Chain A
Amino acid sequence: MSRTSEPKPEPTATVDRTASQSRRGRFPSPSVSATIARVELRRMFRRIRAQDVWLALVVLGSLAVLAVLPIAFDAASAWGSAFASGDAAPASTVGLLVASGWVFVLAMGVVAGVGSYGEIDEPAGLLTVRPPKDVAGGLLLMNAVGYVPYVLVPFGVGFAGLAAGAGTPLVLVGGAAATAALLASAMAIGYPAGLALKGAVHRSKWLSRLKPVIGAVVAVAYFWVMFAGHLPALIDALSPVLRGPPLSWLGDLALVATPGAGASTVAAAAALGLSLAVVPVGVLATVAAAEFAWFADEQRDTGDEAEPGEEPTAGSSTRLTGSTRLGDAFGLVCRRQGTAGVAATTLVRAYRAPLQLLFAAVPLLFALPMVEGVLATGTVPSYAPWFAMLYGAWAAGVAAPLNLLGNQGATLPGLLTSLASGREVVHGHVLAVVAPVAPIAAVLSGAAARASGRSTAEAVGFGALALVVVGGGAVVAAAIGSRFPRFDGIDVTADRTATPPSKAAFALYSVLATLGVSAAGVLTDELYRVVIHSLLAPRLPFGLTLSVAGLERVALGVAVVLAAAVPAAYVLAVRRVSDYRIE
């Protein structure tokens, strides 16, 4: 031993010393929790700012909200004028909106708690420095502050409109009090509820296994409500709760300072008092729920304890050979083991990390109204088989080939220096998506064709065409993806990242897939031809005209070019992957 051999000073006894005041007690230290909240918000802001996809979504979302705000202001202003003239009728609508806002924040709080915003990014760093109560307090505060814009902007504009209509700024006092009360009380209830749910999921093997399914059901239900226009129906269903106390008291609080609104002062005081009482209880519940969630031994399907920094040894050997049952199955239909290995590995990764497929699922949201229409009317629209085909081709491309280099992550050097040739890599990626997607697209397209009134022969033709389009699309996607790779991941949740295809690849492939399916539709489907013609003909620039026959000729040209592009794309993809050098 080479350390200094000087005698060590006598150490001081360490027992019977208690922690500093700020670490003691059941409530979080306000200053430490505020520090944690501030740093977490800063990290979130920097993460979003550094990721173009999220930045674009934030900008688009902000623009959409800005477009609606003037309408909200005008409506609120009209209600304010009504109050000023002694008509208190809009009060119930204002109360309903405030109560709906409370339910929205409550739901978001639950989602935040049960999701990644209820996790600590670096528990070994934070929980060995501060007791969990301070960390829990920090995360609760961070989530509450994070939802301030979502509440402040709409309600701020709404109450400003009310104030303008009523002709008194006093409206803003009640509005500000109600906004603060709804945010604080809803988050104080929703966030610990979400954390408790997370703890229950962590502790239950059954719930842990069902987690992806539950998440998918909740996500589909959310988008179903939002995209299929069911929000008013949902609010109607919740109306008895929203219009009754204690939620209705929030409306009274919002309008307590608005002359002519007829708000009850007692109810307003009750709303304020209840919120003030709920917050400390919610903070204590958050601390308890956080300990319940964070110190649970997560239920695991596999029993191996991998220590940090240690890599499983089995994966590396199967990386290229894909020595799994799936790899063996692919090996039966592939001449080269490299192709089978790449295909099997691509599919296994997609299965085990399905987040990567999120980007391919986005267009399904737009299909929700169509599905709902089918369920409601019992009739399948004539465009349904084309939609199934287009989506199949698009999803197959986006799922893997459209970023076949970027998806490799840290294993790209291993792949490029492996025995697998560029041809095998391209074949493997195309096979990985065509094998599962093409049959589904063919069945869906054919079934939709039959259900929409087309003959059996036509339905079979749709199915066959779907197989060709999905296969060709995957090859084109591989070429585009190898030319425009993207290596930067984006945070899909706070602790999970995924690497989407590049914007150029997304745009180019989407355009080509749409063109290809549209050309096929124009050439083979009378109804589709008429619809496309009626859409295009009136919108042509420079006085151009287009007959239906002319449209067919254009479609034929597009189809020929795209058909010729498939082998060209194949050659391009293989060369690009074979010659790819890491910069």
Chain B
Amino acid sequence: MSDPAVVADGLTKRYDEELAVSGLSLTIPSGDVYGFLGPNGAGKTTTMRMLTGLTRPTDGTATIAGASTDDRPTLTERIGYLPADPPVFDELTGREHLRYVARLHELPSDEAGERIDDMLARFDLAGDADRRIGTYSTGMQKKVGAIAALLGDPEVVFLDEPTSGLDPRAARTMRDTVAAVADREVTVFLSSHVLSVVDELADTVGVIDDGELVAEGPTEELKRRARDDGEADLETAFLDITEDEDVPDERAEA
């Protein structure tokens, strides 16, 4: 059996008196798509920032593709990250920005050019690639951010709300891209409020609430846990799990 792609052990983040994430432990096998759900302010972004090495945990450890999150030289070589607000530079054109990211990844120029052209075409951005990003719509910026996150051929990619702000066609392209990436044995850590996206793509779903991982398991199993007697869906399961008074303490076993 291969090593897991993401291992978090007791990850905790405290800001003064506020506990943002508490003792989060999870293990994600290589090549899986892990759907990470939670209400607003539950600690999703803080968790992703700890897993990508952007924020130091107060306690606990994490390993991504075999690299400790403290080992930034190795970690940066193995991950891609698309935050909810895509980290793109308004003053550059889309192509310049992607070329820049490719240079930071030290990709050979020819290979980078081909890969960028291919991704731009796939995301229907080829015609706008030489315009300044500052003139782009939110969705177009998101696409550039997504391409940048995937450009370095990461082993684990963290996507925070990848389909928000996208029109239906672009959202479909994003979902297809995530699926294609996962088929290439890349591990995807996917945070989204769009439950249909998670339902469609995720092998496993984890639910965080008030900084704690309150449920985890295969998507179908979580759905079955919904208290509705009718046809269970992920939304019902999510609402059940994150209901204020009835937060379940035990995780669903996979």
Contact = CB atoms under 8 A, between A and B. Distances in A.
Interface of A: 1-4, 6, 8-20, 22-24, 31-32, 35-36, 39, 42-43, 46-47, 50, 121-132, 134, 295, 297, 299-300, 303-310
B227 interface: no
B2 A11 contact: yes
Nearest to B42: A307
Nearest to A34: B103
Interface stretch (B111-119, B122-130, B178-186, B242-250): B178-186
26 contacts: A3-B179, A3-B182, A11-B5, A11-B30, A14-B78, A15-B66, A19-B67, A20-B106, A22-B106, A23-B74, A39-B100, A42-B92, A43-B92, A46-B91, A122-B88, A124-B54, A124-B83, A127-B53, A127-B76, A129-B105, A131-B73, A131-B76, A295-B56, A297-B55, A303-B18, A308-B85
B17 interface: yes
Given A12-B2, A17-B74, A122-B87, A130 B40 contact: no
B88 A123 contact: no
A304 B15 CA distance: 10
A31 B103 CA distance: 9
Contacts of A128: 52-54, 76, 79-81
A128 B55 CA distance: 11
Interface string B59-90: 00000011100011110111111011101110
B94 interface: no
Contacts of B20: 305
In this complex, the member of A13, A124, A127, A308 whose beta carbon has the largest number of chain B beta carbons within 10 angstroms is A124
B126 to A, nearest CB: 22
Contact of A4 (B18, B44, B179): B179
Interface-centre pick from B33, B87, B105 (highest chain A CB count, 10 A):
B87
Contacts of B85: 308-309
B45 A308 contact: yes
Contact of A39 (B83, B92, B148, B164): B92
A127 B54 contact: yes
A543 to B, nearest CB: 54
Contacts of A306: 41
Given A1-B201, A14-B3, A14-B5, A307 B40 contact: yes
Contact of B183 (A1, A4, A127, A132): A4
Given A15-B66, A19-B67, A125-B148, 20 more contacts: A1-B201, A11-B31, A14-B67, A17-B66, A23-B77, A32-B106, A39-B92, A42-B92, A122-B88, A122-B89, A124-B52, A124-B81, A125-B81, A126-B87, A126-B104, A127-B76, A128-B76, A131-B73, A131-B76, A305-B20
Interface string B152-164: 1001000011001
A19 B16 contact: no
Interface in B165-204: 179, 182-183, 185, 199-203
Given A128-B79, A303-B15, A308-B84, A11 B185 contact: yes
Count class of interface residues, chain B: 35 or more
B46 interface: yes
B219 A1 contact: yes
B232 interface: no
B235 to A, nearest CB: 16
Most buried by A among B18, B80, B103: B103
Nearest to B179: A3
A129 B88 contact: no
Contacts of A32: 103-104, 106
Contacts of A127: 53-54, 72, 76
Contacts of B101: 125, 129
Given A122-B89, A125-B87, A308-B85, A24 B3 contact: no
A14 B66 contact: yes
A26 to B, nearest CB: 10
B91 A3 contact: no
B153 to A, nearest CB: 12
Contacts of B152: 129
A129 B100 CA distance: 11
B84 to A, nearest CB: 4
A448 to B, nearest CB: 46
A368 to B, nearest CB: 35
Nearest to B134: A50
A310 B40 contact: yes
Contacts of B45: 307-308
Interface in B26-55: 30-31, 33, 40-41, 43-46, 49, 52-55
B185 A9 contact: yes
A309 B2 contact: no
